[in-house]
Structure 1
Amino acid sequence: MAIYTQYRSSFDRSLAALLSLVLVALTLGILWGEQRARGKARLSRSNAAGRPARPVRLGWWTPIALILPAVIVVLALALPLGVMLSWLMQGIENGETWRPVGAAIVNSLTAGTLAAVVTVLAALPVAILAARYRGTLSHWLERGAYIGYGLPGVVIGLSLVFFGANYLPALYQTMAILIFAYAVRFLPQALGSTRSSLLQVSPRLDEAARSLGLSPWQTWRRVILPLVRPGILAGAALVFLTVLKELPV
């Protein structure tokens, strides 16, 4: 909020830029602490077997355990949906048509889908390097991907507006630069889930597939990608929903 206020209220935008750099520095500090806490831990599973969880009988706590989640669902989902439906009915009663709403929904779904696809494609190589080929390059690529998430959306948006207006006028105010902005902004969401899925796949599967005659590409396509597909789809869904939330319809 301070960055946006300084940008809107001051002719000199230097203070807004300085506050943005402070956020970048804080993001780098948090990433450094996360790296130190994680260390060199290996998270891959040696096998697919697991012990079944033992159910715990709640006794007289059972009604409370059922009511509390229900209250959260009502407050987080039912209440906002009810308000929006109320607004919708008021608009229909006042003679509003569905045509602008339909066009807005189509535009939002298109932007969300394209942003999810582009973001996942950009996150996949970084996740592979971070999970399989640890080194200085992969370390800085992974950390750099999180910087955009630490910046306010207004900073990224205004930066791309300035760049497009001055250096790429053909892309100014187009869907392409909007998708690029969302890819920069939400890359960590796709990267985190994809990287976590890759870390759970044992490198021994790569070695076994290679020993059976598969090429590196065949190993990734036929062995690794099917195992990490849930994480990739989860990242894509998260980006899609976040874009729909951030993009005014």
Structure 2
Amino acid sequence: MDFSTSTAAAQPPGAKVRRSAAGGRGTRLGPWPVVALCTLIAAFSLLPLGYVVAATANTGWDTIIALVFRPRVGELLFNTLALVLITVPLCLVLGIGGAWLAERTSLAGHKAWSVLLAAPLAIPAFVNSYAWVSAIPSLGGILGGVLISVLSYFPLVYIPVAAVLSRLDPALEQSAASLGLGPWKVFFRVVLPQLRLAAAGGALLVALHLLAEYGAFAMIAFDTFTTAIYDQFRSTFNGSAANMLAGVLVLFCLLLLLAESKTRGRARYARVGGGVQSNPQRLALGAFQLPAQLGLIALSALALGVPLWHVGRWIIAGGAAIWERQDLLDALLQTLGYGLAGAAATTVLAFPLAYLAVRHPGPAAKVLEAVNYISSSMPGIVVALALVTITVHNVPAIYQTSVVLVAAYALLFMPRALVNLRAGLAQAPRELDEAAQALGKPPFIAFLRVTLRLSAPAAAGGAALVFLGIVNELTATLLLAPNGTRTLATQFWALSSEIDYMGAAPYALLMIVLSAPMTYLLFVQSKKAAGQ
């Protein structure tokens, strides 16, 4: 029986079914207040891209050619391309290999390893760089950049791939094995193609993080577009050179998004999720058990051991005095304040978009949602430059205020909330709203008591992931924070830039402590999402 039909039949005589649980008269695109709000949010999300386009349009062709086609840009282009082309494949190998060992083999202690391989994501890349510079002061160049990047970002591939592997239908592998294919052929011919979406998405995240990263590369004096833009901005305050470098960087981001979309394609993949009837049989490692264990121990020692050891070493060397600094407490409280405010604002802005995408799917909803993914893929340096320029010239009253900084966080991290909210709303069918309305509840009350209540856990999860991003955000905060603002990231950066490694260590430790539970939440939620 159709549930919506049965609820309508159960109405009292004369009762009216409201058009929308969110209130307001509906249109073919969805309730018009929701559509209007989503349009405004999308327009807000387009500010960074609009800034880049406007800055390029206002620069004459002669100036553009002079600024873009010069040796310095060629050097930055080479560094950035080399970094991406070396780091992304290495992250794919480590992420897919680690996920396969933890989820599909007889690896001893596989449950512990499954968590440990995600743990390096709790250590900000610039803290990782700080630790490796403490260990090897001469570290630098492309090899240093690749080392730090791979150890910081391979979990971005591991987490989604492990989530898919944990829920992948084993019938496919069993069928392939019954046809005479050995374990390795089954992996490469059957399993690996099913990981295409997760691996491509993880690779995209790694590449975008590489384009956006500033602190990790500035600390080892490895020049990329982001470090050059920041230096140019600080020396000329939003000059044409910084704008043109930002334009090249945004073009890079858009090309990466296009490449990931082409890689993803329209192919259909085997089902994953609760409908799987049997557990996959773990492949016996046999003689490969020891090499696998040694390899994972080495990876964990490099990605977790080195940063934790050196942070601890500097804390012990500094003694109790480094914990008595007044600005340490101020930085912690301000980080928590900005994290909570940014997470709340981002989740609230993402909710109408998620609601429209789930309850009223269609071309308009897809476009409005896609706008946020495109804008949020831009590096924090570009978002910060856009907001600096817009506020200085149009709304100087809010220039360098907390409002602008929280707006930057929302632009950068909205997809984290949006993805979680979509999953939560998908589990709150509209028929439940209609049933509540049939029992006499006004649309808005029905929405609050049913849809909002059922999606609250997903909203909390999305807010937690936004909070994680804000705690570790550096570039936009450095450019946009009001005078006197101290966050853990900015104070760590200020002290480590002055080679005060002992003073910087407590800030590094607090960032790791705040990030660790959020990273675990991300890992757990990714597995739940794969099972939906």
Same fold (TM over 0.5): yes
234 and 33 in structure 1: CA distance in 2 versus 1, 3 angstrom threshold: farther
Pairing 1:236–2:459 present: no
Q: Secondary structure of the equivalent of 2:255?
A: helix
Residue 18 of structure 1 aligns with an amino acid whose one-letter code is G
User: 8 Å contact 2:376–2:412 — kept in the other structure?
Assistant: yes
Q: Per the alignment, in what secondary structure is the counterpart of residue 361 of structure 2? A: coil
Match of residue 42 from structure 1:
none
Shift of 1:162: 1.7
Q: Distance in 2 between matches of 1:52 and 1:162?
A: 56
CA distance in 2 between counterparts of 1:229 and 1:78 reads: 37
Match of 2:441 in 1: 214
Determine the structure 1 residue equivalent to 2:312: 85
State the match for 2:427 in structure 1: 200
Specify which of 358, 373, 377 is matched with residue 146 of structure 1.
Answer: 373
In 1: Cα distance, 2:264 partner to 2:429 partner: 21
Cα gap change, 1:124/1:116 in structure 2, threshold over 3 Å: closer, same or farther? same
Which residue in the other structure is 2:454 paired with? 227
| 1:169 aligned residue (396, 405, 408) | 396
1:184, CA displacement in angstroms?
0.6
> Would you say 1:126 and 2:353 are equivalent positions?
yes
Structure 1 gaps, min length 5: 40-44
TM-score with structure 1 setting the length? 0.77
Question: How many Å apart are 1:211 and its aligned residue?
Answer: 2.9
Please give the alpha-carbon distance, in whole angstroms, between the structure 2 residues aligned to 1:33 and 1:218.
Answer: 43
> Residue 231 of structure 1: CA displacement?
1.1
Instruction: Please tell me whether the aligned partners of residues 127 and 198 of structure 1 are also in contact (alpha carbons under 8 angstroms).
Output: yes
In structure 1, what is the Cα distance between the partners aligned to 2:266 and 2:279? 30
Among residues 217, 225, 228, which one is paired with 1:5 in the alignment? 228
Q: Secondary structure at the match of 2:441?
A: coil
Which string of whole-angstrom CA distances, capped at 9 and with x for unpartnered residues, describes residues 199-221 of structure 1? 23333333333333333222221
Deviates more, 1:202-211 or 1:220-229: 202-211
AA in 2 matched with 1:160: L
CA distance in 2, matches of 1:131, 1:155: 30
Instruction: Indicate conservation of the 8 Å contact 1:191/1:235, yes or no.
Output: yes
Q: 1:53 to 1:235 in 2, by over 3 A?
A: farther
Partner in structure 1 of residue 251 of structure 2: 22
Secondary structure of 1:246 counterpart:
coil
Secondary structure in 1 aligned to 2:409?
helix
Residues 190 and 236, structure 1, Cα contact 8 Å, conserved in 2: yes
Q: Tell me the CA shift for residue 6 of structure 1.
A: 5.6
Task: Say whether the 8 Å CA contact 1:201–1:227 is kept in structure 2.
Answer: yes
Once structures 1 and 2 are overlaid, which stretch shifts more, 134-143 or 28-37? 28-37
CA contact (8 A) 2:428 2:454 kept: yes
Tell me, in whole angstroms, the C-alpha distance in 1 between the residues paired with 2:300 and 2:448. 39
Runs of 4 or more off by more than 6 Å in structure 1?
49-53, 55-61, 93-96
**In the alignment, is the contact (CA less than 8 A) between 1:7 and 1:16 conserved in 2?**
no
In the TM superposition, residue 29 of structure 1 has moved relative to its aligned partner by 3.0
Comparing 89-98 with 210-219, greater Cα deviation is found at: 89-98
Q: Distance in 1 between matches of 2:277 and 2:379?
A: 43
Q: Which moved more, 1:100-109 or 1:80-89?
A: 80-89
Mark the structure with the bigger radius of gyration. 2
What amino acid does structure 2 have at the position aligned with 1:117?
A
* 1:224 maps to amino acid: T
- C-alpha RMSD over aligned residues: 3.7
Matched residue, 2:341: 114
**Structure 2: how far apart are the matches of 1:57 and 1:27?**
35
Are 2:347 and 2:418, in contact at CA under 8 Å, matched by a contact in 1? yes
1:171 positional shift: 1.5
Deviation at 1:38, TM superposition (A): 9.2
Bigger relative CO (Cα 8 Å, ≥ 6 apart): 1
> Given the superposition, is the C-alpha separation of residues 191 and 50 from structure 1 closer, same or farther in structure 2, using an over 3 Å criterion?
same
> In 1, Cα distance between the equivalents of 2:322 and 2:374?
46
Check if 1:245 corresponds to 2:468. Answer: no
* Superposed CA offset, 1:14-58 (max 9, x none): 53143144145336636866997499xxxxx9xxx9889759688
Q: Distance in 2 between matches of 1:133 and 1:35?
A: 24
Question: How many Å separate the matches in 2 of 1:34 and 1:50?
Answer: 27
Q: CA deviation at 1:194?
A: 0.7
Shift in Å, 1:113: 0.8
Closer, same or farther: CA 102–242 of 1 in aligned 2, 3 Å: same
* TM-score, reference length from structure 2: 0.39
Q: Cα 1:146–1:174, aligned 2, differ >3 Å: closer, same or farther?
A: same
Amino acid across the alignment from 1:211: A
Structure 1 CA distance for aligned equivalents of residues 409 and 357 of structure 2:
22
Between 167-176 and 196-205, the greater mean CA deviation after superposition? 196-205
User: Against the structure 1 CA distance between its residues 182 and 27, is the aligned structure 2 distance closer, same or farther, given a 3 Å change threshold?
Assistant: farther
Unpaired segments ≥5 residues, structure 2: 1-223, 475-488, 492-532
> How many residue pairs get matched?
241
Is 1:178 paired with 2:405?
yes
Conservation of the 8 A alpha-carbon contact between 2:346 and 2:413: yes
Q: Distance in 2 between matches of 1:149 and 1:246?
A: 14
